[in-house]
């Protein structure tokens, strides 16, 4: 995992609308980047809806949210549309950005081994440095946990 104080890796990916989104688009504000395994599955839906429900409060803290998975743009478009998600979901189909954020690799499910996205979250500060790391998160209540941590700490002093 990347650690608090590390520079957050740069990225450029397409969102659910096919538009290019870059890390530099968020310079000067805080950014929550959450990585999730698969759009439209139970845990990922719970997590996405949690961030959607807390989005206004996060925006009040000058914090943007993006979700990154190895889904296709079209799958993300369907997912965002079905749940009225109001933030960018980014398609990292080859896992390259997820790898940079140490959130991609070998997984096992039902006895099968495959490469996929790990459920991790990073908070990036206005200066581009990692301010908080959440590894192997539980989807339910995670967005509220991140919001609570952000409300409790100034942008430059997160855990």
Q: What is the mean pLDDT of residues 104-129?
A: 93
CA 71, 129, 3, 22: dihedral to nearest 10 degrees?
Answer: 10
Residue 123, CA distances (Å) to 23, 37, 39, 55, 126 in order: 12, 18, 21, 14, 10
Give Cα 53 to chain centroid, integer Å: 15
Give Cα 118 to chain centroid, integer Å: 11
> Are 22 and 10 contacting, i.e. CB atoms less than 8 angstroms apart?
yes
Positions annotated as catalytic residues are: 44
Backbone φ, ψ for residue 148 (5° rounding): -60, -45
Residues forming a β-bridge with 159: none
> Are 62 and 49 contacting, i.e. CB atoms less than 8 angstroms apart?
no
Average pLDDT of every residue of the chain: 95
11-42 pLDDT, tens digit per residue, is 999 999 999 999 999 999 999 999 999 999 99
Would you give the DSSP letter of residue 5? T
Backbone φ, ψ for residue 31 (5° rounding): -135, 125
Residue 156 confidence (pLDDT) above 60: no
What six digits make up the tokens of 110? 């039902």
- Of the pLDDT bands very low, low, confident and very high (cuts 50, 70, 90), residue 76 is very high
Q: What is the mean pLDDT of residues 101-121?
A: 92
Question: What is d(CA 101, CA 122) in angstroms, rounded to the nearest whole number?
Answer: 9
Q: What is the pLDDT of residue 82?
A: 97
Q: What is the mean pLDDT of residues 79-95?
A: 98
> Which helix (H) or strand (E) covers residue 134, if one does?
strand 130-134
Q: Which domains does the chain have, with CATH numbers?
A: 12-152 (3.40.30.10)
- Of the pLDDT bands very low, low, confident and very high (cuts 50, 70, 90), residue 159 is very low
């Amino acid at each position: 995992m990347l650690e608090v104080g590390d520079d957050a890796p740069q990225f450029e990916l397409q969102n659910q609308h096919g538009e290019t989104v870059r890390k530099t688009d968020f310079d000067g504000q805080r950014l929550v980047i959450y990585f999730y395994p698969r759009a439209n599955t139970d845990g990922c839906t719970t997590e996405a809806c949690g961030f959607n429900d807390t989005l206004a409060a996060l925006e009040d803290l000058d914090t943007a949210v993006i979700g990154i998975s190895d889904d296709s743009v079209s799958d993300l478009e369907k997912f965002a549309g079905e749940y009225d998600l109001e933030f960018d979901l980014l398609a990292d189909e080859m896992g390259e950005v997820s790898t940079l954020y140490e959130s991609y690799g070998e997984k096992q499910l039902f006895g099968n081994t495959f490469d996929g996205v790990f459920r991790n979250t990073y908070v990036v500060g206005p200066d581009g440095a990692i301010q908080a790391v959440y590894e192997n998160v539980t989807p339910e209540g995670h967005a509220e946990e991140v919001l609570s941590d952000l409300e409790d700490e100034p942008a430059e002093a997160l855990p």
